[in-house]
Amino acid sequence: MRSSRQCRTAMTEPVSEAESDTVPTRCGYVALAGRPNVGKSTLMNHLLGRKLSITSRKPQTTRQALIGVLTRGDAQIVFVDTPGIHIASGRALNRYMVGQAVGSLAGVELALMLVEASGWHDGDEIVRRRIHEAGVPCICVINKIDRLRRKERLLPLIDALSRKHDFEALVPVSALKNLALDELLEEIVGRLPRRVHMFAADEVTDRSLDFLVGEIVREKAIRRLGAELPHQTAVMVDRISVGESLAEVDAVIYVERDTQKRIAIGKGGAMLKSIGEDARKDIEFLIGSRAMVRLWVKVDRRWSGRPDALQRFGYQSQRSAKGEHSQRAGKGAR
């Protein structure tokens, strides 16, 4: 136990998922699960070696399951970053996010359950039960060990968890500081089935450029507006035009009230300009060229509680990670 800059769409032909001891490669889906804000998105980004999932200090930043593909030698790991599992309130958006997280456990080969090195919480038990109900083998990833002032507290936690729960392994890591991530990858690869790879070697996600750009804008809005306007924002990308030397992006930030709109715009448009500047830098890195980002703010009252609005913003019913891949048209970012 081990306690191109370029983004483009590509067509990938479906491949057989036949498993055999004679197949020289390994491949499988691995879900990252945990309560909100335990570091799932940060872990996936650092395992991939690039930023794919958006992050913030605010819980429930991740709203939709997101595939990130890591190909290393003969092994291909298809990570599925998920929203935090929690007791959903009556709000439609919360119910959707929990459905995304739980639905993503269907059909994966392995789950990584993230917990904090500070200790086991009631919310962790909810997550563990969900994984157990899905019948998925699980590695417990004890994250944020860099925050432990007294490192001797780690061993009793590992011992208690190993005695109480039937984890495949317990691996202490720091996703933020890149500590023990190679050891975690070894534990994952050894448990993948022998199977041909499902994605091209340079493909990192099955999400479209529109989705990735929209998430960048939403991340910057959350970070800038976090104190006043936590999570009642949604982003819709109206247009992306990628030229030889300049990419143009038009996007709308939706809020629920007129007062929130005024906050998002700011005095003289200062807040909206800051969000756009922050987003432009990441979009330029993603696309690999200069970008011009134009943002607007509109009000869609109580959108987070309305199923019709959720669907319009792309928050649709969850299918399993495998189902999404097998039925997708093959478009993905590289």
- For 284-327, how does the pLDDT look when each residue is reduced to its tens digit (9 = 90+)? 999 999 999 999 999 999 999 999 999 999 997 655 555 554 44
> Domains in the chain: how many in total?
2
**146-165 confidence digits (pLDDT tens):** 999 998 999 999 999 999 89
Q: Comparing 274 with 328, which gets the higher pLDDT?
A: 274
Residues 138 and 49 in one domain: yes
134 SS3 class: helix
Q: Which of 111, 108, 130 shows the shortest CA–CA distance to 188? A: 111
Q: How confident is the model at residue 87 (pLDDT cuts 50, 70, 90)?
A: confident
pLDDT > 90: percent of the chain: 80
What CATH number is given to the structural domain containing 283? 3.30.300.20
Residues 216 and 182 in one domain: no
* Average pLDDT over every residue of 46-56: 96
Q: Residue 134 falls within a domain, yes or no?
A: yes
Query: Which H or E element spans position 295?
Result: strand 290-299
**22-45 confidence digits (pLDDT tens):** 789 999 999 999 999 999 999 999
Residues 42 and 149 in one domain: yes
Please determine, for residue 55, whether its predicted confidence score (pLDDT) is greater than 90: yes
Q: Residue 121 falls within a domain, yes or no?
A: yes
> pTM of the full predicted structure?
0.88
Residues 86 and 155 in one domain: yes
What CATH number is given to the structural domain containing 31? 3.40.50.300
Residues 140 and 177 in one domain: yes
pLDDT > 70: percent of the chain: 87
Q: In terms of residues, how long is the chain?
A: 334
Q: Residue 85 falls within a domain, yes or no?
A: yes
Q: Which of 70, 135, 72 shows the shortest CA–CA distance to 109? A: 135
Domain of 282 in residue numbering reads as 209-301
